Amino acid sequence: MPEKEKKQLTKKPDKKKDNKNPKKKKGINYNIFWIYGIIVVAILALQFWDFGAKPETVYWNDLSKMIKEKEVLKITVINKEKAEVTLKPEVFNQKKYDKLSEKKMDEEGPHFLFRISSPEVFHKQLQDIQKDLAEEDVIFYASETRKDFSGEILSWIIPIGILIVIWVFVFRRMGGGGGAMGGGIFNMGKSKAKMFNNDAAIKTSFKDVAGLEEAKQEITEIVDFLKNKDKYTRLGGKIPKGALLVGPPGTGKTLLAKAVAGEAEVPFFSMSGSDFVEMFVGVGASRVRDLFSQAKAKAPCIIFIDEIDAIGRSRSSKSNFNSNDERESTLNQLLTEMDGFDTNTGVIIIAATNRAEILDNALLRAGRFDRQILLELPDLNEREEIFEVHLKPIKTNENLNMKSLARQTPGFSGADIANVCNEAALIAARGDKEFVGKQDFVDAIDRIVGGLEKRKKIITPQERKTIAYHEAGHATVSWLLEHSQPLIKVTIVPRGKALGAAWYLPEERQLTTKEQILDEICAALGGRAAEEVIFNKISSGALNDLERVTKQAYSMVSFMGMSEEVGNISFYDSSGQEYSFQKPYSEKTAELIDQEVKKIIDKEYMRAKNTIINNIVKFKELAERLQQKEVIFTDDVEDILGKRTFLNPHTEEAINGIRQDQLDIKKEKKMQEKKQAETSTKENKEIR
C-alpha cells in the first residue's frame, strides 16, 4: 500500500474522535452576556411581577356609590394619575367585599384604584357627589408623588442596552465575526490570516495546476529554499524574501499559492490584502505586525497575501486626492516587516496581484519581493492541459477532442476554461444527456462569450432583415481582408445584449501590426457599411462596433505611435497615476489626435463600403442564407465567398479543426434526430 494511503487510513479514526470532542464540550457557553441578560430580566421582573395583592380597578359609578354610602375611609391621588381608595375597616369586613380578602388584601388597603383624567376634574367630581353629605362625612383626598424606580431605570437601561448590543455587534463583525481569530473588540488588531500546516486538509497540488511550467518551477524552488535552507546558504547566498505572482484575473495565481500550501511541508499563512484594511486607523498596521509575529514563531513558513494591491498601491505624492492614511500606514508596516527581519529567518512572502504596475516601488524593490513571477493567459497547449484537468470529473463523449476545445477558446483564462467545463456539464444535464458532448461545449463557449441565447426576444421582420445584412457585412468584409481575424460562424439569434454576432477566432499572436488593426477596424465597420449600402439608412445596431473602433483608433494614434502626423509618441501611462487630472499634451496636439482618429475611421469605413459594393451579389446571397438558417458556419461562407487565402498555417489548422467539429456536431444532431424519429414510430406502432 502506498505511504500516503496508509497515513490516511491511520488518521481517519483520530479525526472522528476529534470531531466528537467539540460536540461534547458544546453545552452552554457561559460568558459576560449571561450576566447582562440576568440583570435585564430582573429589572423587567421588578416592573411586571405581581409582588403583593394589587388594588382592584374601580370605575366612577362604583366609586361614587361607595362615597355616597360613606364606605370610604381615605383617597390618595398618586402622581396626578390615579387615586388609591381605602375602605373603612368595618366596611371591608362586610360580606359584599369578601373578594378583597380572598385576594389577600388586609384592612389597611388601599383596596381600589381609580384612574383619573386630571386632578381638577376629579376634585370637581368629588365635590359634586358629596354636596348633599354632612360636613363630617365629606372626604378630601391627599396627593402624593411616588417614584417608579424600576420604570425609570428601564427607560435609560433599554436605550443604553440597545447601543451596547449594536456596538458589540459592529466590533464583532470587524474583529472577524466570532471566528477563531476574531470574535471580539480586543481582537481587532489581530491578523485574520488562516494558517494551514501539514494536518490541514489542503488537497490542491501542483498536478492540479495545468501549464504555467516556468511559474511552477520558480515557486517550487522557493518552497525548496525553506525545506533545504542550508543547501542554498552554504555558499553565502541569501534566501529570497518574497515572490510576487503577477497576471490577469483567473490565470491561476491563487491556485498556484494553494498548491504551494498543499505541497510545502511548512506552515502556510493565507490572507487577502483587503483583510488588513479596516475603518479604524492603525488596525491594518497592527494586523501586519501580528501576522509577522505569528509567522516568525512558526518559521520556516510561507505567508501568502492575495490581491496585495489593496494595500500595496503606490504612495504617489502627486495624487494626494486619492491618499488614504490607513492604507499607507499598513503598507509602511508591511515594508518595515519585510525588511525588518533577517533574511534567513525562514519566512517567505508570496503575494498575488493583477495590477503590478500600480504597486509601490518600495514594495517591488529587490530585498522585498525579489522575484516577480509572471502568469500569462494560457496558450494553445496550456489551454489543452487546463481542459484535461477540469474534464477529469466530467463524463464526456469519447470523441471529444481537447485540442479542438483549446483551439476554440483563444484568450480564455484558466478560470474561463473551468467555467466552460462546468457550464457544458450543466447544459448536458439540462438536456437529460448521459454524456457531455461537443455541442454542449460549443454552447457553453458561446454562452460565456456572448451571453444567454434569447430566442424569444421580439424582433420585427424589418429589424431581422437589418440584423442579417449587418452581420453579413461583418462576415463579408472580414473574409475578404488579408489581416482580419478568421470567421467561425455568424448568427442572428439574439444573445446577451447583442441582436446578432459574427464569431471570430483571434489569432494567437504576441505582436499586432498596423495593418492588422486597420483590417480589424474595417471589418468592425462592415456592419454599418452594409446597412448604408443596402437600405441607405443607418441604425443604432452599430453602437458596439463604433465604440470598439473608436477606442482602437485612439490607441493607435495616442498610444502606439501609429499615426504619421502625431509621430512616434505615446501618451500611455502604464502606472495609471501620472495623468489623472491633466492631459499630457497641448490643445493643438489634442486636435491633431482627433483629426487623425477621424481620418483613420473614415478611410476604413470607405474601404468596408467598397468591399461590399464590389462583392454585392455574394454579399446579398450570404445575407439571405443567414436569414434562412439563422446560424451559418465557415463552410457556408466559403461556399458563397470562396476559399479564404490569407490564413497562416497555424490558424488554418485551427480553423480546419473547428470545421471538422462543426461537421461532427451536424452528424451527431442528424443521428439523434434519426434515433428520435425511430423511437417515436416504434411507440406509435405499439399503441396501435
State the DSSP H helix or E strand holding residue 350, giving kind and residue range, or none if neither: strand 347-353
Instruction: Please check whether residue 243 is in contact with residue 304, taking contact to mean a CB–CB distance below 8 angstroms.
Output: no
- Report in angstroms how near the CB of residue 193 gets to ligand ATP at its nearest: 17
Judged by beta carbon, residue 112 or residue 412, the one nearer ligand ATP is 412
Judged by beta carbon, residue 57 or residue 205, the one nearer ligand ATP is 205
- Report in angstroms how near the CB of residue 255 gets to ligand ATP at its nearest: 3
- Report in angstroms how near the CB of residue 168 gets to ligand ATP at its nearest: 33
Lookup: cell for 311: 494595500
- Cα(398)–Cα(417) distance, rounded to whole angstroms? 19
Judged by beta carbon, residue 383 or residue 438, the one nearer ligand ATP is 383
User: What residues contact 420, with CB distance under 8 A and at least 6 apart?
Assistant: 405, 409, 412, 441, 444, 445, 448
Give the residues across from 350 on adjacent strands: 243, 304
- Report in angstroms how near the CB of residue 258 gets to ligand ATP at its nearest: 7
Q: Which of residues 331-390 bind ligand ATP (CB under 6 A)?
A: 352, 354, 386, 389
Amino acid (1-letter code) at residue 3:
E
Q: How many CB atoms are located within 10 Å of the residue 71 CB?
A: 18
- Report in angstroms how near the CB of residue 441 gets to ligand ATP at its nearest: 17
In the residue annotation, 388 being an active-site residue is answered as: no
- Of residues 89, 151, 159, 249, which one binds ligand ATP by CB under 6 A? 249
Judged by beta carbon, residue 251 or residue 330, the one nearer ligand ATP is 251
Binding track, positions 418-457, relative to ligand ATP; x by CB under 6 A: x---------------------------------------
Q: How many CB atoms are located within 10 Å of the residue 105 CB?
A: 22
Interface segment toward ligand ATP; rule CB under 6 A; list 191-199, 249-257, 336-344, 497-505: 249-257
Instruction: Please check whether residue 441 is in contact with residue 400, taking contact to mean a CB–CB distance below 8 angstroms.
Output: yes
Interface segment toward ligand ATP; rule CB under 6 A; list 136-144, 413-421, 565-573, 590-598: 413-421
- Of residues 109, 175, 242, 252, which one binds ligand ATP by CB under 6 A? 252
Taking CB under 6 A as the rule, does residue 406 contact ligand ATP?
Answer: no
Taking CB under 6 A as the rule, does residue 259 contact ligand ATP?
Answer: no
Q: At CA 385, angle to CA 402 and CA 8, rounded to 5?
A: 120
Taking CB under 6 A as the rule, does residue 312 contact ligand ATP?
Answer: no
State the DSSP H helix or E strand holding residue 347, giving kind and residue range, or none if neither: strand 347-353
- Report in angstroms how near the CB of residue 392 gets to ligand ATP at its nearest: 11
Helices 283-298 and 325-340 pack at an angle, to 10 degrees, of 20
Judged by beta carbon, residue 244 or residue 285, the one nearer ligand ATP is 244
Strand order in the sheet with 631-633: 501-504, 487-491, 631-633
Binding track, positions 29-58, relative to ligand ATP; x by CB under 6 A: ------------------------------
Q: Which of residues 626-645 bind ligand ATP (CB under 6 A)?
A: none
Residue 110 preceded by cis peptide, ω within 30: yes
Taking CB under 6 A as the rule, does residue 415 contact ligand ATP?
Answer: yes
Taking CB under 6 A as the rule, does residue 255 contact ligand ATP?
Answer: yes
Residue-wise DSSP of 121-180: HHHHHHHHHHTTS-GGG---EEEE----HHHHHHHHHHHHHHHHHHHHHHHHHHTTTT-S
How many whole angstroms from its chain centre is CA 252?
Answer: 17
* CA neighbor of 473 nearest in space, from 601, 606, 611, 600: 611
Cβ burial, residue 223 (10 Å; 0-12/13-18/19+): buried
- Report in angstroms how near the CB of residue 209 gets to ligand ATP at its nearest: 5
- Report in angstroms how near the CB of residue 374 gets to ligand ATP at its nearest: 12
- Report in angstroms how near the CB of residue 414 gets to ligand ATP at its nearest: 2
Catalytic residue, from 382, 423, 471, 531: name it.
Answer: 471
Q: Which of residues 197-236 bind ligand ATP (CB under 6 A)?
A: 209-212
- Cα(248)–Cα(243) distance, rounded to whole angstroms? 17
How many whole angstroms from its chain centre is CA 261?
Answer: 24
Interface segment toward ligand ATP; rule CB under 6 A; list 52-60, 244-252, 603-611, 621-629: 244-252
336-372 in b/e form (b: 16+ CB < 10 A) is: ebbeebeeeebbbbbbbbbebebbbebbbeeebbbbe
- Give how many residues touch ligand ATP by CB under 6 A: 19
Judged by beta carbon, residue 205 or residue 293, the one nearer ligand ATP is 205
- Report in angstroms how near the CB of residue 311 gets to ligand ATP at its nearest: 15
Judged by beta carbon, residue 253 or residue 407, the one nearer ligand ATP is 253
Judged by beta carbon, residue 112 or residue 441, the one nearer ligand ATP is 441
Taking CB under 6 A as the rule, does residue 262 contact ligand ATP?
Answer: no
Which single residue brings its beta carbon nearest to ligand ATP?
Answer: 414
Q: At CA 530, angle to CA 529 and CA 531, rounded to 5?
A: 90
- Cα(264)–Cα(259) distance, rounded to whole angstroms? 8
Taking CB under 6 A as the rule, does residue 254 contact ligand ATP?
Answer: yes
Judged by beta carbon, residue 213 or residue 652, the one nearer ligand ATP is 213
Lookup: cell for 445: 463557449
- Report in angstroms how near the CB of residue 385 gets to ligand ATP at its nearest: 7
618 in helix, strand or coil?
helix
Sign of CA dihedral 582, 587, 589, 593: positive
Interface segment toward ligand ATP; rule CB under 6 A; list 109-117, 220-228, 412-420, 445-453: 412-420
- Cα(406)–Cα(508) distance, rounded to whole angstroms? 12
- Cα(413)–Cα(57) distance, rounded to whole angstroms? 79
- Cα(232)–Cα(266) distance, rounded to whole angstroms? 17
Judged by beta carbon, residue 380 or residue 459, the one nearer ligand ATP is 380
Give the residues across from 347 on adjacent strands: 301
Judged by beta carbon, residue 259 or residue 641, the one nearer ligand ATP is 259
**DSSP-derived secondary structure letter, 55:** P
Interface positions with ligand ATP (CB under 6 A)? 209-212, 247, 249-255, 352, 354, 386, 389, 414-415, 418
Query: Which residues are designated catalytic?
Result: 471
